[in-house]
Amino acid sequence: MSKKKVLVTGGAGYIGAHTAAELVLAGMEPILVDDLSRSNMSLVEGLEQICGRKMLFYRIDCKDPIQLRTVFHEHPDLTSVIHFAAFKSVGESVLQPLLYHRNNLGSLVSLLEVMKEFSLKHLVFSSSCTVYGQPDVIPVNEEAPFKRAESAYGATKQMCERILEDETKADEQLRVVSLRYFNPIGAHPSGLMGELPIGTPNNLVPFITQTAIGKREKLTIFGNDYNTPDGSCLRDFIHIVDLAQAHVKALQLIDTAPSHYEPINVGSGRPVSVLELVNTFMSVTGVVLNYSVGPRRPGDIEKVYADTTKSFRLLNWKTKLTIEDALRDAWNWEKRLSHAAD
Ligand code: UD1
C-alpha cells in the first residue's frame, strides 16, 4: 500500500514540525509548507536529523492560492491536510487585529478553495481551547458554547471553526477534525526540536527556560489572587509529543468519524497551576528560578482544563507523558540552543 501523503501547512513551526515527526514514525509522508514569516528552517533541520532524511519543503504563503496550487499539482496523490499555518500571539492580535484576520482566515479560505479544486476531502485543523473563553463548567467539553473571544486571535480560531462547520454542511464529502489544543509545552526528547519564540516569549514555559538560562532576568507570575487553590491560573499543560500524536490519530479517524465536522479537545484533563508548574520546573532541573508575583495579565482566563472523554472515545488517545517530562525536555532544548549560540 502506498504511503499516506499529508500536506502540513505551518510545517516549520513548533507544533507542525513535531507532528511531522510523528507522521513519519506512523509511516506517513509529510509535505511541509511554510512561509517562514514566524519561523525559520531550524526545526525542519532538527526534524530531518530525527528522521534521518530530507523532508519535502515548500516556502509558500498559504493565503496565496496560486502558490498552493503548485504544491497540489506536484502532489496529486495527497490524501489529507493538517492546517497549522497561523499567527498565534494573543497580545499582538489585540494590537494588529487586521493582520490576524487576514492571515488566519485568509489562509484557511484559500486552502479550502484549493482543496475543493483538487477534490481533497480530509482536513485536520489546528484549533485551540481559546474558543471557549472562560467556560462556565470545567473540565470543559466540546459541547460548551463559545464565549465572546477576548482577543482577535481567539476570534480567528472561532471563525475558522465556523467556516469549517459551514463547509462540511455544504460539501457532503468534506470531513474535518478540529483539534482544540490546551497548553502545549516541552520539546522533542531528542533535544533536536522545541519552541523558538521570536523576541520576548509570551508563553510561560519558554519564559521559564529563558530565565533559567540567564537570557531573562526574572519571571513574573501574572496574578496570585485568582479563585484557584494557590491563587495562580490553572491550565492543562500537555507535552508537545503527545499533542503531535493526537494528529496521527485524527487522520486515522477522519474517514469514520461520526460527524463530518468533529471538534475534539486535546488536553490531559489535569489542572496544573502556574505556580505548580514553576515549582515542578525547579525540582526536575535543580535550577532556582528568579521569579516574583506581579499583577494579572489582561485577558487571561482564570482556569481551564479539558474534559478528555471525547478524545479518548473517538481517537483512542490520551496523554502518556507528564509535565515533568515536558519541563525536562524544554530545559534540554533551551540548553542546546544556548550551546549552539556560543
Ligand atoms: C493562550 C491561549 C491559547 C493560545 C496561546 C497562544 C487561552 C485559555 N489560551 O494560552 O489558546 O494558543 O495563548 O499564545 O486563551 N504566565 C505567567 N508569566 C509569564 C507568562 C505566562 O504567569 O511570563 C501565565 C499566564 O498568566 C497564564 C499561564 O502562565 O496563566 C499560561 O500562559 P501562556 O503560556 O501565555 O498560555 P495561555 O495564555 O494559557
Return the half-sphere exposure (C-beta side, CA atoms, 13 A cut-off) of residue 65. Answer: 12
**Mean pLDDT taken over the chain:** 96
Identify the residue whose C-alpha is closest to ligand 1 atom 13. Answer: 90
Distance 258 CA to ligand 1 centre (A): 32
The finding on whether 224 has its CB within 6 A of some atom of ligand 1 is no
The pLDDT of residue 299 is above 90 = no
**Which pLDDT tens digit goes with each residue over 75-123?**
999 999 999 999 999 889 999 999 999 999 999 999 999 999 999 999 9
User: In the annotation, is 261 catalytic?
Assistant: no
The finding on whether 233 has its CB within 6 A of some atom of ligand 1 is yes
Diameter over CA atoms, the chain: 57
Q: Which residue has the cell 514569516?
A: 37
The candidate with the shortest Cα–Cα distance to 330, out of 278, 291, 293, 294, is: 278
Distance 29 CA to ligand 1 centre (A): 32
At residue 323, the pLDDT reads 98
The finding on whether 88 has its CB within 6 A of some atom of ligand 1 is yes
Identify the residue whose C-alpha is closest to ligand 1 atom 11. Answer: 130
Phi-psi region of 223 (alpha: psi -120 to 50; beta: other; left: phi over 0): left
Distance 242 CA to ligand 1 centre (A): 19
Distance 113 CA to ligand 1 centre (A): 33
> Helix count (H) and strand count (E) of the chain?
12, 13
DSSP letter for 148, please. Answer: P
Rounded CA-CA distance 143/265 in Å is 10
Rounded CA-CA distance 16/47 in Å is 10
**Which pLDDT tens digit goes with each residue over 164-191?**
999 999 999 999 999 999 999 999 999 9
The finding on whether 81 has its CB within 6 A of some atom of ligand 1 is no
Phi, psi of 37 (to 5 degrees): -75, -25
Distance 247 CA to ligand 1 centre (A): 22
Rounded CA-CA distance 232/302 in Å is 8
Cα–Cα distance list, 71 to 17, 41, 58, 288, 300 (Å) = 18, 19, 8, 48, 39
The finding on whether 330 has its CB within 6 A of some atom of ligand 1 is no
Q: Which residue has the cell 499543560?
A: 237
Residue 117's SS3 state is: helix
Reported for 276-283, long-range contacts at CB under 8 A and 24+ positions apart, including other chains, are 276/230, 276/232, 277/204, 277/205, 277/208, 277/235, 277/237, 277/323, 277/327, 278/208, 278/219, 278/221, 280/323, 280/324, 280/327, 281/208, 281/212, 281/327, 281/331
Ligand 1 nearest atom to the CA of residue 277, by list position: 29
| CB neighbour list of residue 259: distance below 8 Å, 6 or more residues apart | none
The finding on whether 300 has its CB within 6 A of some atom of ligand 1 is yes
User: What's this model's pTM, rounded to 2 decimal places?
Assistant: 0.97
Rounded CA-CA distance 134/149 in Å is 9
Distance 89 CA to ligand 1 centre (A): 10
The pLDDT of residue 2 is above 90 = no
At residue 150, the pLDDT reads 85
The finding on whether 265 has its CB within 6 A of some atom of ligand 1 is no
The finding on whether 235 has its CB within 6 A of some atom of ligand 1 is yes
Cα–Cα distance list, 292 to 44, 206, 229, 289 (Å) = 36, 17, 18, 10
At residue 1, the pLDDT reads 58
Q: Are 196 and 215 in contact (CB under 8 A)?
A: no
Q: Which residue has the cell 520576548?
A: 200
- State the catalytic residue, choosing from 100, 153, 226, 261: 153
